């Protein structure tokens, strides 16, 4: 009761009052009032008026505006018709149940709306901004780039920015779905919509509110209900033709047999049943509601889909195309193997490597230093870069080398070549080989599961696009389980590859990339999925589906959600049409009555709506 709006509460009271009155009158009709229509008619008009005056009013108003054939019109004719043939209780009952169905519908839709709104409870209300040396609380929209804001523990970060002072942990769960808090400190980028957990942070704002992450995400989610799926459009078109056809059908069902049999009353009754059953609400509400719920469910899982049309397209994906770096792999170089020579410890190998590389900015050097962390480094003297080869230096008077095979060969050092692919740094001290360190991009563990899930879902072909060499790409593809590899591509080649795949017309093509450099490809694919796109405007703009983190397993999840939604939509269409056609057929043969027809019409709508709402509650494992 407490979730009802004022309007809904009033309707409910009217329904209850009218229902009680109807019960009393039906008892009276059976006991003291039989056969006295002049008493019955005005009495039954009371509950009818209580529950249905607004329907009659709307019907009349719509007819005046040339809007015939809507629900109110159907209900008005059906009930007035029932009064005409002295079926008074039926007339009231039809109206009462119609209103009950409408009320249920509006409560159900309101509930779905609220549940989605609460999902998106990330809109920051205020920002504490430094103005004239004081912290002033203002609306986030009024903060300019470069201003300083203060965020206390427990508060949402209102605008994107860089931490100027303070240390804390952030909860990014509403942005990325990741529940593990992220530690941050001075100089780190922070995104609006994340929640500050424990320290006070001073942040320099880098984006206006309307360009900030939270505003972009809200805009995307709010607008997603605006693109319609083909099923929705079909239902709307169907409803447009269906109602007038049924009205004409009802009229003919009344007219022709009446002339032939000279028994207009019986056939009028059948025609009225026809009208009651003809209301298309079960479909018109439940189909869009299913998609609405499906979109909401996807957002709950950190999958933002830009419209019902893409949700629909996801269920039909036949080909998946992945960008390699950052999508299937971490996109970060890390030490993946350390191979010390027989008399060297891995620890010592890393110490020497770190000592040699400590001043270098090369990505390889950085990964080694990251791996080494805080370990003690021996003192090196005479550090010298050997262009195209590596680095040399002296430790305790002995020459040490770190670099590629050429560097080693030039010093006559024999090396053991590691089996792993990647960049290899060889190390030597004096004339002896110390070992090697392999640096490579790591395959995401979840990519393997994602691919096997996609195969289970019936995706026919998987393709990986990469600018990397074929040797590296083939190995990654083999580990993950990708069918085809297109390697050595320039960024512009990726669009051509996708266009080539689209030209084969083998089915719906999904492209997933990390949003860096691949906006044109995202836009070109049937379904473009941008991963971990929080903070990347171009990707959010170009993609049809935005994954809030960079977990490739979200792709099969999205497909499962879309298939679940599709199956609900199909169930509802089949069920609603099945029951309606059954009743239309039965009523043509006098095998049903108005009570049953009303139950069938409203009952189907209620069941279809409840079924549609299941999409919102769908949970991925």
DSSP bridge pairs for 409: none
Contacts to other proteins from residues 545-564, by CB under 8 A: none
Under the binding rule (CB under 8 A), the answer on residue 113 touching other proteins is yes
Query: First and final CA of the chain: distance in angstroms?
Result: 33
Among 160, 323, 441, 550, the active-site one is 323
Measured from the CB atom, the residue of 61 and 414 that comes closer to other proteins is: 61
What would the two tokens of residue 535 be? Answer: 């903070």
Classify strands 545-547 and 527-530 as parallel, antiparallel or unpaired: parallel
From the list 143-151, 220-228, 345-353, 543-551, the region that binds other proteins by CB under 8 A is 220-228
Measured from the CB atom, the residue of 46 and 120 that comes closer to other proteins is: 120
The residues, ordered by sequence, that sit 6+ positions from 452 with a Cβ below 8 Å of its Cβ are 481
From the list 236-244, 394-402, 409-417, 552-560, the region that binds other proteins by CB under 8 A is 236-244
Measured from the CB atom, the residue of 29 and 216 that comes closer to other proteins is: 216
DSSP bridge pairs for 348: none
What would the two tokens of residue 235 be? Answer: 């239902």
Binding test (CB under 8 A) with other proteins, winner from 215, 281, 349, 450: 281
Measured from the CB atom, the residue of 443 and 612 that comes closer to other proteins is: 612
From the list 62-70, 168-176, 398-406, 446-454, the region that binds other proteins by CB under 8 A is 62-70
Instruction: Phi first, then psi: give them for residue 469, nearest 5 degrees.
Output: -70, 155
Say if CB 341 and CB 364 are below 8 A apart.
no
Measured distance CA(224)–CA(559) in Å, rounded: 17
Under the binding rule (CB under 8 A), the answer on residue 285 touching other proteins is yes
Instruction: Phi first, then psi: give them for residue 151, nearest 5 degrees.
Output: -125, 120
Under the binding rule (CB under 8 A), the answer on residue 228 touching other proteins is yes
Contacts to other proteins from residues 70-89, by CB under 8 A: 70-71
Measured distance CA(56)–CA(83) in Å, rounded: 14
Under the binding rule (CB under 8 A), the answer on residue 9 touching other proteins is no
The residues, ordered by sequence, that sit 6+ positions from 370 with a Cβ below 8 Å of its Cβ are 334, 335
163: enclosing H helix or E strand: strand 161-165
Identify whether 54 is a catalytic site residue: no
The residues, ordered by sequence, that sit 6+ positions from 16 with a Cβ below 8 Å of its Cβ are none
From the list 92-100, 232-240, 329-337, 414-422, the region that binds other proteins by CB under 8 A is 232-240
Under the binding rule (CB under 8 A), the answer on residue 226 touching other proteins is yes
Say if CB 464 and CB 451 are below 8 A apart.
no
> What's the min distance (Å) between Cβ of 102 and other proteins?
8
605: enclosing H helix or E strand: helix 594-617
Under the binding rule (CB under 8 A), the answer on residue 280 touching other proteins is yes
Measured from the CB atom, the residue of 54 and 410 that comes closer to other proteins is: 54
Under the binding rule (CB under 8 A), the answer on residue 289 touching other proteins is yes
Measured from the CB atom, the residue of 28 and 234 that comes closer to other proteins is: 234
Report DSSP state, residue 483. S
Say if CB 608 and CB 105 are below 8 A apart.
no
The 3-state DSSP class for residue 576 equals helix
> What's the min distance (Å) between Cβ of 15 and other proteins?
16
Classify strands 161-165 and 201-205 as parallel, antiparallel or unpaired: antiparallel
> What's the min distance (Å) between Cβ of 532 and other proteins?
27
Instruction: Phi first, then psi: give them for residue 593, nearest 5 degrees.
Output: -135, 175
From the list 78-86, 233-241, 343-351, 407-415, the region that binds other proteins by CB under 8 A is 233-241
Binding test (CB under 8 A) with other proteins, winner from 169, 178, 236, 620: 236
Contacts to other proteins from residues 562-581, by CB under 8 A: none
Measured from the CB atom, the residue of 70 and 620 that comes closer to other proteins is: 70
> What's the min distance (Å) between Cβ of 72 and other proteins?
9
Measured distance CA(241)–CA(563) in Å, rounded: 28
Provide the binding-site residues for other proteins, judged by CB under 8 A. Answer: 61, 65-67, 70-71, 106, 109, 112-113, 222-223, 225-228, 236, 239-240, 280-281, 284-285, 288-289, 292
**Residues with catalytic roles:** 323
């Amino acid at each position: 009761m407490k979730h009802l709006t004022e309007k809904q509460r009033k309707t409910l009271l009217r329904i209850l009052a009218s229902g009680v009155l109807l019960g009393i009158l039906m008892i009276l009709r059976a006991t003291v009032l039989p056969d006295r229509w002049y008493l019955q008619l005005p009495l039954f008009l009371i509950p009818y008026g209580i529950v249905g005056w607004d329907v009659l009013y709307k019907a009349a108003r719509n007819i005046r505006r040339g809007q015939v054939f809507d629900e109110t019109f159907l209900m008005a004719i059906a009930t007035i018709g029932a009064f005409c043939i002295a079926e008074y209780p039926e007339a009231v009952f039809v109206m009462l149940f119609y209103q009950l169905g409408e009320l249920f519908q509006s409560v159900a839709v309101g509930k779905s709306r609220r549940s989605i709104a609460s999902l998106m409870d990330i809109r920051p209300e205020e920002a504490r901004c430094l103005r004239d040396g004081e912290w002033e609380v203002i609306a986030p929209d009024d903060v300019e780039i470069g201003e300083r804001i203060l965020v206390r523990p427990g508060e949402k970060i209102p605008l994107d920015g860089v931490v100027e002072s303070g240390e804390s942990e952030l909860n990014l769960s509403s942005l990325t779905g990741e529940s593990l808090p992220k530690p941050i400190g001075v100089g780190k980028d922070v995104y609006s919509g994340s929640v500050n957990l424990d320290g006070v942070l001073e942040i320099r704002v880098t984006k206006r509110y309307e360009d900030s992450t939270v505003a972009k995400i809200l805009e995307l989610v709010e607008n997603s209900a605006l693109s319609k799926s083909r099923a929705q459009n079909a239902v709307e078109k169907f409803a447009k033709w269906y109602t007038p056809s049924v009205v004409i059908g009802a009229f003919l069902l009344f007219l022709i047999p009446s002339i032939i049999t000279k028994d207009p009353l019986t056939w009028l009754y059948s025609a009225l049943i026809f009208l009651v059953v003809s209301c298309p609400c079960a479909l018109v509400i439940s189909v869009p509601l299913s998609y609405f719920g499906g979109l909401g469910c996807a957002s709950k899982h950190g999958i933002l889909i830009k419209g019902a049309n893409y949700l629909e397209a996801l269920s039909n994906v036949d080909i998946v195309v992945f960008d390699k770096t950052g999508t299937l792999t971490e996109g970060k170089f890390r030490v993946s193997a350390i191979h010390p020579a027989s008399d060297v410890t891995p620890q010592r190998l890393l110490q020497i490597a770190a000592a040699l590389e400590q001043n270098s900015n090369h990505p390889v050097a950085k990964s080694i230093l990251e791996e080494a962390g805080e370990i003690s480094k021996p003192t090196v003297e005479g550090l010298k870069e050997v262009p195209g080869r590596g680095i040399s230096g002296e430790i305790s008077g002995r020459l040490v080398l770190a670099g590629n095979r050429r560097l080693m060969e030039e010093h006559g050092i024999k090396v053991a070549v590691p089996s792993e692919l990647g960049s290899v740094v060889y190390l030597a001290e004096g004339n002896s080989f110390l070992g090697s360190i392999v640096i490579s991009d790591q395959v995401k563990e979840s990519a393997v599961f994602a691919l096997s899930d996609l195969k289970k879902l019936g995706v026919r072909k998987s393709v990986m696009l990469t600018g990397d060499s074929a040797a590296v790409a083939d190995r990654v593809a083999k580990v993950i389980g990708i069918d085809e590899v297109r390697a050595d591509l320039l960024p512009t080649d990726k669009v051509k590859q996708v266009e080539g795949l689209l030209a084969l017309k083998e089915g719906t093509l999904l492209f997933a990339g990390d949003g860096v450099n691949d906006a044109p490809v995202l836009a070109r694919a049937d379904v473009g999925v941008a991963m971990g796109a929080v903070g990347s405007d171009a990707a959010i703009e170009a993609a049809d589906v935005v994954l809030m983190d960079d977990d490739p397993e979200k792709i099969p999840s999205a497909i499962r959600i879309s298939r679940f939604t599709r199956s609900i939509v199909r169930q509802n269409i089949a069920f609603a049409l099945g029951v309606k056609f059954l009743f239309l057929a039965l009523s043509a043969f006098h095998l049903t009555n108005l009570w049953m027809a009303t139950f069938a019409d409203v009952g189907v709508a209620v069941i279809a709506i409840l079924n549609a709402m299941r999409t919102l509650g769908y949970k991925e494992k």
